[in-house]
Amino acid sequence: MILFPNAKINLGLRVIRKRPDGYHDLETVFLPIYGLRDALEIIPQHQQDPANPVHMQSSGLAVPGDPNDNLCVKAWQLLKQDFPDLPGIDMHLHKAIPMGAGLGGGSADGAFALQLLNTSCRLQLSTDQLMQYALQLGSDCPFFIHNKPCLAYGRGEILQPLSLDLSDYQIVLINPGIHVATGWAFGQLTPQQPITPLQEIIALPVEQWRDQLINDFEAPVMQQYPTIARLLEDFYAAGAVFAAMTGTGSTVFGLFPKTQIVDLKNGDGCWFGVFGL
């Protein structure tokens, strides 16, 4: 069986407080980008290999690190704890979503792996149960079980469906290939409760989002990496209605009218994509 894990962006991202468990309470809007997708295939092993129950292969963008640390493998390991009869699998992941880019590609892969295993192995897990497993993989993972526009609170796992019509717009993504360390990014912030709830801001016309729909990480990241600040300036100069950084970066995006031909001078080495909403 095969599924196509998609990317996401954050519309606004406020860090409200640090929790006793070391995580942070956040306020954000998750918006799926269905047109930017990985591909994940899972097949039960024809001959079970107890010594290596998960054969993981990848193609496309290079996936760094130990394959056993991949969230797709960890999804199998997590379910195996509760389902001892879960069979060994052959897994192939084709990466198209840039990694470490604020686009949630790794989280999507892990969440979709849970769904594939649930279906292919007939585990009969409910959506709520899948979301609980997903949260054990990572804070962004439960969103990809829901996978529709939503307000997110807590670590990102408290999801409130959101009616958000952006069908008149196209989205342009640029990733400058800069790796922003998540721990460093959080260390630059002083958490605080925003004056205006995000739910009120996101209900405004898109033309009014600029300077109101804030990603708390933007200011320190742009100060450290001026290239990101220049990309945002380029978006607005090219006619973006709204532009921002997603997550802790380094991907930036711009919303443009669907009918506009977008002419951007993205720098050498920048990953660039245009998608419908």
Indicate whether 154 and 100 sit together in one domain. Answer: yes
Out of 38, 109, 140, 234, pick the active-site residue.
140
Tokens of 111: 């969440």
Indicate whether 10 and 73 sit together in one domain. Answer: yes
Catalytic, 140? Answer: yes
Indicate whether 18 and 133 sit together in one domain. Answer: yes
Per residue in 28-86, pLDDT (tens digit) is 999 999 999 999 999 988 888 888 899 999 999 988 888 888 999 999 999 999 999 99
Give the pLDDT band of residue 268 (cuts 50, 70, 90).
Answer: low
Task: Count how many domains the chain has.
Answer: 2
Pairing of β 54-60 and β 89-95: parallel
H-assigned helices in 147-275: 182-187, 198-202, 218-224, 226-237
Catalytic, 8? Answer: yes
- Domain endpoint, select from 133, 160, 187: 160
Q: What whole-number distance in Å separates Cα of residue 31 and Cα of residue 14?
A: 15
Per residue in 213-257, pLDDT (tens digit) is 999 999 999 999 999 999 999 999 999 999 999 999 899 999 999
DSSP of 219-240: HHHHHH-HHHHHHHHHHHHTT-
Indicate whether 130 and 252 sit together in one domain. Answer: no
- Containing structural domain, residue 123: 2-160
Q: Domain holding 244: CATH number?
A: 3.30.70.890
Q: Which letter does DSSP use for residue 215 in this model?
A: B
- Domain endpoint, select from 135, 160, 185: 160
Identify whether the C-beta of residue 89 lies closer than 8 Å to the C-beta of residue 43.
Answer: yes
Indicate whether 124 and 219 sit together in one domain. Answer: no
- pLDDT on residue 114: 98
Which among 161, 139, 179, 159 is positioned nearest to 19, based on CA atoms?
139
Indicate whether 37 and 136 sit together in one domain. Answer: yes
Q: What is the mean pLDDT of the chain?
A: 93
In this structure, of 5-9, 47-51, 159-163, 212-216, the range with the lowest mean pLDDT score is 47-51
Indicate whether 182 and 236 sit together in one domain. Answer: yes
Indicate whether 30 and 111 sit together in one domain. Answer: yes
Angstrom distances, CA of residue 20 to CA of 23, 25, 184 = 7, 10, 19
- pLDDT on residue 267: 59
124 or 1: which carries more pLDDT confidence?
A: 124
pTM of the model: 0.92
Indicate whether 71 and 184 sit together in one domain. Answer: no
- pLDDT on residue 266: 59
Out of 8, 95, 109, 216, pick the active-site residue.
8
Place of tokens 């998609």: 6
Q: Domain holding 55: CATH number?
A: 3.30.230.10
Indicate whether 102 and 184 sit together in one domain. Answer: no
Whether 269 has a pLDDT exceeding 90, the answer reads no
Indicate whether 196 and 258 sit together in one domain. Answer: yes
Per residue in 98-155, pLDDT (tens digit) is 988 999 999 999 999 999 999 999 999 999 999 999 999 998 999 999 999 999 999 8
- Domain endpoint, select from 134, 160, 186: 160
Indicate whether 153 and 194 sit together in one domain. Answer: no
